[in-house]
Structures are given as C-alpha cells and as structure tokens.
C-alpha cells in the first residue's frame, strides 16, 4: 500500500435526521426554575429536539446516513469505513457503528466509534482524512450523532436547558486538494475531564441503586469554566489550522462552529474578525446536539445552497475531555 494517495478527503454529500419531539423554553419553564428570557439571552436556544417512542441514537444515525448515501450515489455495501462519532451510544456494548452497519447493510465496512465529546465529528473527519490520504479507504461514511436528552438531569437547570438530540452524516471520498480538506488538527487536555462528565455507568462506578439514587448517571457540568475555555480554543484552533494551510481568517467564506452557546460563537467570531453573516447558526432551533451540531449545520447549508464549489469553509468544535479541533476545507460542491 502506498503511503500517500495524492488525494484528500472531500465531503461529497450530507444528510441529517432530527427527532420529531420538540421542547420549547416555555415547556422548560414548567419543569425547572427558568425562563424563556434567561435561556434565550444567555444561550441563544429557543427549542430543542428530543427522541420519543422508538427513536434511538442508531436509528437517527441510520436515517441521516441513508440520505447522505443516496445523495452520493453510494450503495451501503460500497462503504469501506463507517465512523460514528458519539458520546451517547445506544448501549455500552457493542459500538453504535456496529448497529448502524447492520441497519444500513454496510456489510463490507470496517466500523468503529469515536468518543471525543462534542468534538467527535471533527475528530472523525481528521481520522477519515488520514484514511483517504494513505489510500486505505475510498468510501467513508462519517456520522456525528448525539442523543443527550436521556442522560440530562431534568432537575438541573444548569444543563437541561442546553442540549438536544440529532444526527448528521457525510459521505467522504478521495478528491483533489481544491475540493477537500486542506488542514485539520485534533487537541485534548484530559486534566480538565472533571468539567463535563457522567460519573456512573462505566466500570469504575457500575449502575446500582446508589448510583441511581444519587443521580450519577446524568451529565455534570461546570458551565462558566467551559465557556471561558471554549471562547479561547475556538479562535486559537481555527487560527492554527488556517496557518497550517497558509490561510487567514479573511480568506474564509464560512465558519461552521459547534453550537453550544450563541455567546461563545459570537465571541470567537469577534476574535477572528468574522462577521456573523459568514457563520452558520442553528442553536436557536436545536440547542447543543454535541457531535451532531456541525454536520447538521452543514446539511442545512447545502440544502439552502449556501456553499459554492471551492468555497473555503472552517469547521471548529470543543467538548468533554476536554477536547477541541478544527478543520479547513474547500467545499466539494
């Protein structure tokens, strides 16, 4: 096998799947001590989607994937690598990617999950790009999916107003540099693991009546610390990858940031000198969908005809770990 295919990863098509259940800020006013005014002004979220009935992480992933595959003209059995980026798998074992593989009939794919908090899609894209650059894969299906509503503490107003469920998928193929990933980078700092975590349900604290009584299966978060960190690394990592490919913020046509808080997005864009017209925002309708934020925003932008072939697009995200990452690509079109 050659170590370089001479090609880079190109996003050939996109798809998304969102649960039908919707929770507005006014619904939340009935559940916890909060208000539409506080949530809208402090976060930018107006409503979020929530799985109901038979919907699962893997069913949303499958639905988003089917759309992306159909649009790319790729049959499930032609996929040679399937990556699912998620922190909310259907179950601890096996990986969600195995379940999605079975639902799709992607019988010739190697599959694995990427667990990198809300940065999962960016991590997955970086990994996919390495497989393409080395010639180890030709048809990659990358899913960014998270279903956080079952692991949110609906008694904790600090977290329950923020998150929503959703899935986005992309088909990635080898393309010339002018139509694909120019540079990407993954970062992490495990010393900050305690800022965003779920204490129980793993092997250090398996589920028992005490973990349930103490609400240890729900997300715990230090919001203000993550906020400060996020503003810093969103701008820094975008600048870093721009620099890696000899570009500047002014060269960007669009930035697609992780959607955690509109104030984080605005502050990061201010630091980068970008106008909000260049930035894709959907947090008002979906809240923070973790790994799904970026691919869902991409799919909506494609549907709206926002991107022209060759546009320079930046992707950037941060999340539990802490992890963060950024990518600069020429839009395939």
Binding residues for ligand UT7 (CB under 6 A): 34, 38-39, 42-43, 118, 157-158, 161, 196, 221, 223-224, 226-227, 230, 260-261, 288, 319
CA–CA gap between residue 20 and residue 52 (Å, rounded): 8
- C-alpha atoms less than 13 angstroms from C-alpha of 283 in its C-beta half-sphere: 26
Q: Which one, 8 or 116, has the nearer CB to ligand UT7?
A: 116
CA–CA gap between residue 294 and residue 316 (Å, rounded): 8
CA–CA gap between residue 272 and residue 278 (Å, rounded): 12
CA–CA gap between residue 50 and residue 45 (Å, rounded): 14
To the nearest whole angstrom, how small is the minimum distance from the Cβ of residue 36 to ligand UT7? 10
Q: Which one, 196 or 315, has the nearer CB to ligand UT7?
A: 196
Residue nearest to ligand UT7 (CB): 223
CA–CA gap between residue 145 and residue 12 (Å, rounded): 19
Comparing C-alpha atoms, which of 87, 95, 100, 115 is closest to residue 289? 87
To the nearest whole angstrom, how small is the minimum distance from the Cβ of residue 37 to ligand UT7? 9
Q: Report which DSSP code applies to 19.
A: -
Per the listing, tokens 């809208």 go with 40
Q: Which one, 99 or 125, has the nearer CB to ligand UT7?
A: 125
Q: Which of 57, 160, 288, 330 is catalytic?
A: 288
To the nearest whole angstrom, how small is the minimum distance from the Cβ of residue 157 to ligand UT7? 4
To the nearest whole angstrom, how small is the minimum distance from the Cβ of residue 24 to ligand UT7? 14
Comparing C-alpha atoms, which of 203, 225, 212, 292 is closest to residue 14? 292
Q: Which of 118, 126, 139, 269 is catalytic?
A: 118
118 in catalytic set: yes
Q: Which one, 35 or 107, has the nearer CB to ligand UT7?
A: 35
CA–CA gap between residue 64 and residue 3 (Å, rounded): 32
To the nearest whole angstrom, how small is the minimum distance from the Cβ of residue 327 to ligand UT7? 17
Maximum CA pair distance of the chain?
A: 60
Comparing C-alpha atoms, which of 296, 292, 297, 295 is closest to residue 319? 292
288 in catalytic set: yes
Structure tokens at 111: 């599959």
Strand locations in 163-243 (E)? 165-175, 181-188, 196-197, 220-221
Kindly report the number of other CB atoms within 10 A of residue 154's CB atom.
12
To the nearest whole angstrom, how small is the minimum distance from the Cβ of residue 119 to ligand UT7? 9
Q: Which one, 11 or 230, has the nearer CB to ligand UT7?
A: 230
- What does the angle CA 193 – CA 198 – CA 202 come to, to the nearest 5 degrees? 100
Q: Which of 25, 57, 126, 258 is catalytic?
A: 258
Structure tokens at 121: 């899609």
To the nearest whole angstrom, how small is the minimum distance from the Cβ of residue 45 to ligand UT7? 9
Backbone angles phi, psi at 16, to 5 degrees: -145, 155
Active site residues: 118, 258, 288
């Amino acid at each position: 096998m050659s170590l370089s295919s001479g090609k880079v990863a190109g996003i050939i098509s996109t798809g998304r799947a969102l649960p039908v259940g919707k929770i507005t800020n006014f619904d939340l006013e009935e559940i916890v001590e909060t208000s539409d005014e506080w949530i809208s002004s402090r976060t930018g979220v107006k409503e979020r989607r929530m799985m109901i009935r038979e919907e699962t992480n893997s069913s949303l992933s499958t639905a988003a994937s089917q759309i992306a595959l159909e649009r790319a003209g790729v049959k499930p059995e032609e996929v040679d690598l399937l990556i699912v980026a998620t922190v909310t798998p259907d179950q601890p074992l096996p990986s969600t990617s195995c379940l999605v593989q079975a639902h799709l009939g992607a019988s010739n794919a190697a599959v694995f999950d990427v667990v990198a908090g809300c940065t999962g899609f960016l991590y997955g894209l970086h990994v996919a790009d390495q497989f393409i650059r080395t010639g180890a894969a030709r048809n990659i299906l990358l899913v960014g999916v998270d279903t956080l509503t079952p692991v949110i503490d609906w008694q904790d107003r600090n977290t329950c107003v923020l998150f929503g469920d959703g899935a986005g998928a992309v088909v990635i193929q080898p393309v010339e540099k002018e139509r694909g990933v120019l540079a990407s980078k993954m970062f992490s700092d495990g010393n900050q693991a305690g800022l965003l975590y779920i204490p129980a349900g793993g092997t250090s604290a398996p589920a028992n009546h005490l973990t349930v009584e103490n609400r240890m299966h729900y997300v715990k978060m230090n919001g203000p610390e993550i906020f400060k960190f996020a503003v810093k690394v969103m701008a820094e990592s975008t600048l870093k990858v721009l620099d890696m490919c000899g570009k500047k913020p002014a060269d960007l046509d669009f930035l697609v940031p992780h959607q955690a808080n509109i104030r984080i997005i605005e502050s990061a864009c201010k630091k980068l000198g970008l106008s909000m017209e260049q930035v894709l925002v959907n947090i008002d309708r979906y809240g923070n969908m973790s790994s799904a934020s970026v691919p869902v925003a991409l799919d909506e932008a494609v549907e709206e005809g926002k991107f022209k072939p060759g546009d320079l697009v930046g992707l950037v995200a941060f999340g539990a770990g802490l992890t963060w990452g950024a990518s600069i690509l020429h839009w395939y079109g």
